[in-house]
Amino acid sequence: MYLNPRLTIGAIAALSLVTLAGCGNDPQSSSGGSGGSGSSSYAAVIKGLDNPFFQQMQQGIDAQSKTDSVSVEVQAAQSVTDTSGQADKLDAMAQQGYDCYVVNPISGTNLIQGLARIAAQKTPVVNIDSPIEADAAAKADLKVTTYIGTDNSEAGKMAGDTMVDALGGSGKVALIGGISGDVTSAARIDGFTAAVKGKLTTLPVVAADWDRQVALTKATDILSANKDVAGFFAANDDMALGIARAVANAGKTGDIAIISVDGIEDALKAVKSGDLYATVAQYPYAIGQMGVQACEMASAGNQLPANITAPVAVVTKADADQALAKFPAPFQPFDNPLG
């Protein structure tokens, strides 16, 4: 008569597991995603939408899927540090039998497990923006169909060349990086340093964690310690906007050239107003579009090159209006091997 609470829970738990397992059927036949009405359907797993860069990437994906009338289900991580959560999201979508997966992994390795299983079923995997670590992928038997991304070192180099022009060939430049040890930040800064070598003097890299507030603080410190700083290079736009505030606080707007990489809308506006000297625009929108195009080609059985470079363009005051008008699409035509 007396109901043992633990026995009751145990029984229900066992029952529910049996029910769950019993309902199992072939994932491939059960569902083709949300829009499996004959046409292809793709899945995209990108980084956190708390950053405008990835919002534009999603806009690009959505725009391209509309143009080509294919269905793409986009899921993003909770934040740019949510490595295991992003893996969970990929796993949830991996079971729905999409025809192709577009992924922008938070780290070089966090999606490898899930992708290895997808790739094993000969489903194409298109890696965009942040690269999957090659060694790690090889060990897990993961073959990525193609990688689409910007050359960060090239973007840094273009920023460097612009800085040399801006300063008239000589001067002292402060370098503000992202999170210490970050690969993207390192590539951009290395590209920049290489381009200005022998022309400009550079201060040691200061990490500002990709954060506008942190950059404001660090730039204020740098300005008070080095009266003769003529330029700042920031590894992303957000930090550059923080630096611009610090420079304005010091009353030096226009005297100090701030150049960064990314090309977010706020940065384009700041270039137009003169707060920033230039930004090297990468086009997450275009990367998103190209990811969908790559999926279409791969599904159709076409061979794709292992690496595809997405467009980069320097935006200075002269181009700012045009760039803003077209935003988030590129304002200049570019050579698209997929289009």
Partner 1 sequence: MTTAQPATAGQRSAEDYKRRLAELPWPELASTLGLVGLAIIFGIANPGYLSEGNVSAILQAAAILIILTIGQTFVVATGGIDLSVASTMTLGAVVLGQFYAQGWNIWLAAVAGLVATLLVGAVNGLIISKGGITDFIVTLGTLSAASGMALIISDGRKTTIIEPVLIKLSVNGIGLFSWAVIIALGLAILAHVVLFHTAFGVHVLAIGGSAESSRSLGIKVWLVKTGVYVISAGLTGVAALLLVARVGAAEPAANTAFLLNSVAAVVLGGVSLFGGRATVIAPVMGALLLTALVNGLTRVGLSEFYQPLTVGVVVVLAAFLTRFNK
Residues that bind partner 1 (CB under 8 A): 1-3, 5-6, 8-10, 12-13, 16, 19-21, 23-27, 30-31, 34, 48-49, 73, 75-78, 81-85, 87-89, 91-97, 107-110, 112-113, 116-117, 133, 135-136, 139-140, 179-181
The nearest distance, CB 193 to partner 1, in angstroms, is 20
**For residues 165 and 209, which CB has a smaller minimum distance to partner 1 in the complex?**
209
**For residues 117 and 172, which CB has a smaller minimum distance to partner 1 in the complex?**
117
**For residues 92 and 194, which CB has a smaller minimum distance to partner 1 in the complex?**
92
**For residues 64 and 86, which CB has a smaller minimum distance to partner 1 in the complex?**
86
Residue 10 token pair: 């145990």
**For residues 10 and 254, which CB has a smaller minimum distance to partner 1 in the complex?**
10
The nearest distance, CB 93 to partner 1, in angstroms, is 7
d(CA 179, CA 65): 34
Residue 259 token pair: 């150049």
The nearest distance, CB 246 to partner 1, in angstroms, is 23
The nearest distance, CB 210 to partner 1, in angstroms, is 13
* Single-letter amino acid code for the residue at 108: G
d(CA 210, CA 134): 25
**Structural contact between residues 54 and 46, judged by C-beta atoms closer than 8 angstroms:** yes
The nearest distance, CB 181 to partner 1, in angstroms, is 4
If you count them, how many residues does the chain have?
Answer: 339
**For residues 26 and 228, which CB has a smaller minimum distance to partner 1 in the complex?**
26
**For residues 84 and 273, which CB has a smaller minimum distance to partner 1 in the complex?**
84
The nearest distance, CB 138 to partner 1, in angstroms, is 9
d(CA 171, CA 34): 56
The nearest distance, CB 45 to partner 1, in angstroms, is 9
The nearest distance, CB 229 to partner 1, in angstroms, is 25
**For residues 107 and 309, which CB has a smaller minimum distance to partner 1 in the complex?**
107
d(CA 89, CA 69): 24
